[in-house]
Amino acid sequence: MSNPVKVFFSYSHKDEALRDELATHLSMMKRQGIIEAWHDREISAGSEWANAIDDNLEVADIILLLVSANFLASDYCYDKEMTRAMERHETREARVIPVILKPTDWNGAPFGKLQALPKNAKPVTTWPDQDEAFVNVAQGIRRVVEDIAKSKTSSSTASGTTTPATSSPAATSGGLTERQRRRLEQERDSLQQQYDLATTKLGRLRQAYGIETDTATKFKLEAQIQESQTEQSRLDQQLEEIEQKLL
């Protein structure tokens, strides 16, 4: 792939071993050339580390927040990297994916509204087989990578298309009329509201699941979480399709 998806790791150095494990599970995508992964251990000697981090954070397509108590306690991770990551996520410049490494109270965090990995946001270190947890995380990241890669390909194709000089004056960029564009924008705004509501609902369900102790209730909450994740993914896909039409 000529334009690989750029992945940025935001993590506490105390979790470096787990970061290395995750990087290993992403190695197939690196070999396939569909991602470029970066973390601060790649900063070369003599470089200004803060500038290097900022530069790579600004160009990342996917920002992985490796969540643990160490991460939440780190002023740099939380106040600098995570804050900027969420700003870029809100403007749809990048996708932020929380990866829950260890059990910790992350309720109320700005990223709490996002769909986290592994499945059901169950911390990696609590899985009976930790490799299975990382496979689940890698598969979730691959799905996002594929979505972004398609978007990049579509954008490149669109930018390389020359608009004929004889095009209709009623058409806007992308071959849409003003009326068609307004209709798509209204549909996008409506879907965005539904997506935001679904995200809020999912966050509340996850919070309830995290504090619930009754097994039967947790089972019901897990089913509701799965349904909400499916709905969120469906809305996200529809939003992506509309964005492509509006390019």
pLDDT exceeds 80 at position 122: yes
Confirm if 33 and 5 have CB atoms less than 8 A apart. Answer: no
Segment 17-26 shows an average pLDDT of: 92
**Residues 21-46, mean pLDDT to the nearest whole number:** 80
Query: Which H helix or E strand runs over 73?
Result: helix 69-73
Q: What is the pLDDT at residue 214?
A: 86
Positive or negative torsion for Cα 155, 159, 164, 168: positive
Rounded to an integer, the average pLDDT of 140-153 is 85
> Is pLDDT at 247 greater than 70 in this prediction?
no
5-148: which CATH number, 3.40.50.1700, 3.40.50.10140, 2.70.50.60, 3.30.750.24?
Answer: 3.40.50.10140
Dist CA 149 CA 159 (whole Å): 15
Q: What is the mean pLDDT of residues 148-161?
A: 65
Cβ(25)–Cβ(56) under 8 Å?
A: no
CATH ID of 171-246, from 1.20.1260, 1.20.58, 1.10.3470, 2.30.30: 1.20.58
pLDDT of residue 168: 40
Tokens 């954070």 correspond to what residue? 57
Least confident segment among 20-24, 161-165, 187-191: 161-165
At 164 the pLDDT is 43
- At residue 212, the 3 state secondary structure works out as coil
Please report, for the chain, the start and end positions of each structural domain, with discontinuous segments joined by +. Answer: 5-148, 171-246
* Residue 60: DSSP 8-state: -
* pLDDT, tens digit, 9 for 90 and up, residues 164-221: 444 444 444 456 787 777 778 778 778 877 877 777 787 788 878 888 888 888 888 8
Residue 169, classed as helix, strand or coil, is coil
Residue 124 has pLDDT above 90, yes or no: yes
Residue bearing the bigger pLDDT, 233 or 60: 60
Q: How many whole angstroms separate alpha carbon 228 and alpha carbon 232? A: 6
Among 52, 43, 60, 83, which residue's Cα sits nearest to residue 9? 60
* pLDDT the model gives residue 226: 83
Residue 43 confidence (pLDDT)? 58
Q: What tokens were used for 34?
A: 């569909």
d(CA 35, CA 17): 21
Which of 132 and 1 is assigned the larger pLDDT? 132
The tokens 């690989």 sit on which residue?
A: 4
Specify whether the CB–CB gap between 69 and 125 falls below 8 A. Answer: no
Residues 6+ apart with CB under 8 A from 233: none
Residue pair 111/39 in contact (Cβ under 8 Å)? The answer is no
Residue 9's alpha-carbon distances to 29, 60, 85, 178, in angstroms, are 15, 10, 11, 41
Domain 5-148 and domain 171-246, same fold? Reply is no
Pairing of strands 95-100, 35-38: unpaired
The SS3 of residue 68 is: coil
For the chain, count helices (H), then strands (E).
9, 4
Question: Could you tell me the pTM of the whole model?
Answer: 0.62
